[in-house]
Structure 1
C-alpha cells in the first residue's frame, strides 16, 4: 500500500500563522518541528520511504525536500499551483497512482493532524489495508464526537462489522455534511451514533476515479486529459492549462455518494485536526483556562480563550477574555470568537478584496 501524505493545502483557517508561501503543515506551530515532519517521521518507523508519497503543489517541492529528505523525489506528486481545494488535488494524486502504482491501494494521510499514540495509528494502517484489499470498499476513519468542531463533516454509524479485528469497524449509515451553526452541531453530536469524520481514506485509485466519473464528470474528464499528457510525456504547461480550468471543490462532492457503501474505522488513537484555532485550543486547554503560547503573555480573569504571539519582544496583556482567539504575528493580528474560528476564511476573502493579498 502507498501512503499519500496530502501536503498541498494553504491552511487558511490557521491564518495569520499559515500563509500561502509557507502553510501550516510546514510550520513549527505546536512543537520544535513541523506537523509535516512529525507525520513523515512517524510513518518511517514502520514503512519504507519508497511507500510514502508526498502530494503537494509544485511551489512547495523545495520545502518538502528540506523537511523530508529521505522521501525519494520520484514519490512527489506535484499538482499545479492553483488553489482548487481537495477534489481536484486528490483527483490528481489518484491519476498519478494509476500511472505509477496501478494495482496498489492507498491511504490519504493529512499531515496537519496530531495522532497519539502513534503506534496505534501505525497498527490501524495495516488493518485498513487488509480490509480494503479484502472487500474493495472505501474505508475511512472517525472518532466519537466529544465536542462540536466547525468545518468538519460527520458520519452516522451503521451496524458493526462482525470480523476478527482489534478495531471497531462499522458500516456507514449516512454522511452528514459540515454545518456553519455551532449550536446545531452541538445538538447533532448528542447522538451516540454520530462520529466526527477523521479522514484516513483507504481505497484504490481506479475505483476513486470511477466515482469521480459517476458524480463529478467535469473533474473526471479533466483528470483523464491530464493522465493522457502524463503517459505520453507531454509538457507541464499542458497539464497546468487543463488543471487551471477545473472547478474548485471538496472531495466529499464525490465521496458523499460512496459513503453509504463504505466502512468507517473508529480511530484507536487520539486524533486532533489542527484545522482551526478552536481545535488547537481543544487539544492544549485544561479545565477551560486560557491557552497561552508566547514568552510575554499576561491574561487575567479570562477563560476559554487562546492567545498566541510570535514576537518574543512584544507583550500581550489581556483582561476578561472569554471565548476569544487572539493571534499576533509580526505583520498581522487576528481577533475572533473561538466559536467562530472557522470564519477566518471569510475574513481573508475580504482582505483579498481590499487589495491586501500580500498578507495572505
Structure 2
C-alpha cells in the first residue's frame, strides 16, 4: 500500500508578506479555504493509502499538528528536522522510518506547497505508476509543459518502458527562454515536479550506492531520535553533519532505474505572486481579488487584503498584498525580486520577515492590536482544553478581560474562574497561566503596562510544550 510522504519544509520567501519564516506558504490558504498542506493531504482521497508521514521543520511542529487536526487526519508520524537539509536526507528519513515501522511500503513523495487543479488526472497517473514502483523502479512525475518556463528544471524523456512511462534520459537545469522554447517545441521535455513514487527499500539501496554519507547521517539521527508527543525529534548533532543535497543530485541522476511518467493535471508550484494570479479566478477585468478590495479602471492585477480595505485606481499588472503589519506593491513581471525585500528585512533584523503580527501557539494565538511607550494590547485566543505556560514577569503588569468563553486563571496559589465581561489583574512577579475549560474558544483582551514590555521579560515555570 502507498505511504504518502509530505515534505512540509521551506520558507516560501517569494510570497512575502503572506509567507514568513515561521509561517511559510505551505500553511497558508492561498487557493481555497484549506491550507496548501491540507490540500496536499485531502487530494489523496480516492487513492488507497496509509496515513501520511510528515517531514517538517521543528519550529513548525504545532502548526502541522493543528492543521492535521482541523481536517481530522491521522498520521504515520511527524519527523522534525532541526534544520533543513534538502530533499535527499528528508526522503531518507521517511524511508528509514517506514522500513522500521511498516512493511516496506511504496512511498509517494509530495511537496506540501504545490497546487494541482485536476485531481482526478493526478490520482489516475499515480495509480498507473504503482506497478513500476513495486517492481523496483524509481518513478518521478514530469509535468507536461504548456509554456516556455525558465523557473523550473526539466526532465528529458528517453526510451518508452510502457504506454505511459519513459526512461529518464537527462535532468536539465533551469534554461534560458530560448532553450525553454526549444524544449516545449520538441515535446520530449517535462517540468521537474519534485514528486516521486518508489519502494522505501529501493530508495535506501540507491542512496547507499551513490551517497552512503547521507544515509549514514540519517540512520544515526533517527536511531538517536526521541518521541515528544506526536513528534519524532532527530538526534541533532548527527543530522547537522548531513550533506545538503537534493534527491535529483544524490540519486535520480545516477540510478539506472529512474522512470518519468508524464503528468498533465494543471500543476503549479505557486512559486510567486504572478503564478498565483495565473491560477486564481479573475473578474471581467482580469483582476484576481481576495478580501476587502474595490477597483476602478484597474486590470490584470492580483489584489489581496487581509486586514484593511484596498482601493485600486487605474492600475494594471500589479500585485498588491496587505497584511496586518506590511504591504507589498510589485509589478507582476518583477515578483521574483520580492526575495530581495526579505533579504533586506533579515539584514536589518526586522520581525516582518520572521513572523506575522498574529503569532500561533499550540494552545491558540495572540495578536498585538495596539502599543505605545508603556502599554501593549493583545487579542489572545486559547482553544478549548488548552492552557498557556505558567510564567512570571518582572517589569509589567497585566489586565485580562474575557470577551468570549470562560477562563480558568491560575495565579500564584489561587485558581479563579473568569466569565465573559469580567476581568482579572496580574501583578508584577506573580506566577500565572490561563486555561480554557470550556467547549468554545476563549477570547481575551490582554493589556500590558510597565517600563519594559519585551517578550524576553518572562520566566517560564512550566511550558506544557507551549511557550508564549
In the alignment, which residue of structure 1 is the partner of 2:297? 300
* Shift in alpha-carbon separation, 1:208–1:345, aligned structure 2, 3 A: farther
In the alignment, which residue of structure 1 is the partner of 2:325? 331
Which residue, out of 220, 230, 239, partners 2:235? 239
Q: Is the 8 A contact 1:175 1:259 kept in 2?
A: no
Unaligned runs of 5+ residues in structure 2 are 227-231, 355-468
How big is each residue's C-alpha offset from its partner over 1:277-303, in whole Å with a ceiling of 9 and x where there is no partner?
Answer: 232122126699343333214263544
Whole-angstrom CA distance in 2 between matches of 1:149 and 1:299: 32
Whole-angstrom CA distance in 2 between matches of 1:199 and 1:171: 16
Secondary structure of the residue that 2:185 maps to in structure 1?
Answer: coil
Whole-angstrom CA distance in 1 between matches of 2:257 and 2:337: 32
| Superposed displacement of residue 182, structure 1 | 5.0
* Shift in alpha-carbon separation, 1:302–1:211, aligned structure 2, 3 A: same
Structure ranking higher on relative contact order (CA contacts 8 Å, 6+ apart): 1
TM-score, reference length from structure 1? 0.83
Q: Is the 8 A contact 2:319 2:328 kept in 1?
A: yes
Q: Is the 8 A contact 1:80 1:239 kept in 2?
A: no
- The question of 1:202 aligning with 2:197 is answered yes
Unaligned runs of 5+ residues in structure 1 are none
Rg (Cα) greater in structure: 2
* Shift in alpha-carbon separation, 1:160–1:103, aligned structure 2, 3 A: same
In the alignment, which residue of structure 1 is the partner of 2:160? 160
- The question of 1:222 aligning with 2:217 is answered yes
How big is each residue's C-alpha offset from its partner over 1:141-165, in whole Å with a ceiling of 9 and x where there is no partner?
Answer: 12221124454211112233345xx
Whole-angstrom CA distance in 2 between matches of 1:253 and 1:343: 27
In the alignment, which residue of structure 1 is the partner of 2:132? 131
Which one has a larger percent helix, Structure 1 or Structure 2?
A: 1
In the alignment, which residue of structure 1 is the partner of 2:288? 291
In the alignment, which residue of structure 2 is the partner of 1:89? 90
Q: Is the 8 A contact 1:7 1:36 kept in 2?
A: yes
Secondary structure of the residue that 2:133 maps to in structure 1?
Answer: helix
- The question of 1:315 aligning with 2:314 is answered no
Number of residues paired by the alignment?
348
Secondary structure of the residue that 2:41 maps to in structure 1?
Answer: helix
* Shift in alpha-carbon separation, 1:256–1:32, aligned structure 2, 3 A: same
| Superposed displacement of residue 197, structure 1 | 1.6
* Shift in alpha-carbon separation, 1:171–1:272, aligned structure 2, 3 A: same
Secondary structure of the residue that 1:142 maps to in structure 2?
Answer: strand
Q: Is the 8 A contact 2:145 2:191 kept in 1?
A: yes
| Superposed displacement of residue 108, structure 1 | 0.5
Q: Is the 8 A contact 1:13 1:342 kept in 2?
A: yes
* Shift in alpha-carbon separation, 1:3–1:237, aligned structure 2, 3 A: closer
Secondary structure of the residue that 2:328 maps to in structure 1?
Answer: strand
